[in-house]
A and B are shown apart, each in its own frame.
Chain A
Amino acid sequence: MARVTLDRLTMRFGPVTAVDGIDLEVAQGEFVVFLGPSGCGKTTTLRCIAGLETPTAGRILFDDEEVGGLDALHRNVAMVFQFVSLYPHLTVRQNIAFPLQARGVGRDGIRRKIDWVTRIFDLAGILDSRPGGLPPGARQKAALARAVVREPRVLLLDEPLSAIDEQFREEMRWELRHLQKELGVTAIYVTHDQREAMSLADRIVLMRDGRIEQAGLPADIFADPASAFAGFFIGSPAMNFLPARREGGALVLAGGAARMALPAAMLAACADAPVQVGIRPQHVAPGGDPAAPGAFAARIVGRHAVARERWFDFALGEFVGRGAGTPEGAGNEGVVQFDLGHLHLFTEAGARLRPAVG
């Protein structure tokens, strides 16, 4: 169980910079999720921490020990891969024993350890099967058991649940989260699935183009995205981004389709350049008084039901966005109400514009 520190970690493959000077500290026992689209450098970062890649520059520290020069084999990290990496010629029991044997643990020690993980992961029924015959969920469980059996300093997980059926995946997430806390192991988890990240992480590290876009508690990133990218990538359905322009004391939205009065502090944040107004569908309600602040007349162009959730699509000029709830009646004409307390402003390039405080 170690604290992991990345100090200006950089990884280049020829002309391509996969990881671009990342600084990060992961506390002992923390569950950190690297989240980002494919190609953002999250897996490369993980592989550097594992020792499978040698970083081009920067340092990696476990507690205060620099491990950058150590091969994977000497780092005592454990890793679970996206595609199952169990040894196909060994039974689950032999697979779990493998890292212990590799380190020269005695026979009794191995038996005790196997008993221990068998209990935690509930593997009794499959200990003597080969991985080939097992369902993906059971295989990944075995892979997890193999990873934690030697009590690694850091547990690394590279999209370990993506090959598993949705239904079972949910359950595995809970279980994983629970186990990680129980074992107290420092865990770094890579995924591109924001829902997975939201439900697992103590802290999400959102990555983009080899850099950290935003790091923080899932709820904080959701409520207070540092950029349009962060707002877009986290939360489902995705945040609405309306093009806007300041005109006098108000914002003109969607090329003139609507005008919205804003508090002065917020208005002051936008210069005269075009901006984007970001608002989550959860904060767009149907109906209400079109004269109220943050409310406009809009066309309702779609209604969706996902289980017990209700969503609707609205159009403002050319712009089509999404809101939560059921608009009254079946007609096209309607009113949408933005919750101004959850409205974010971004530049056209996506940087966050914050109202001046005080």
Chain B
Amino acid sequence: MQFEPRILSFLCNWCCYAAADSAGVARFSYPPNNRVIRIMCTGRMDPQFVVEAFYVRADGVFVGG
């Protein structure tokens, strides 16, 4: 079976989350492997979020801001 990574994305409300919305509006297509958590700024990122994500078996963490 092909490796299907599960990626947890933390997206900044003002830029990356907005960009992800725009990708939808433009009907782009990308692999459905990520799950999104919206934060108000990547300044909000706490190291424990990343640790926790890996702890619950995320294969990757994406921080977009």
Are A and B a genuine interacting pair, yes or no? no
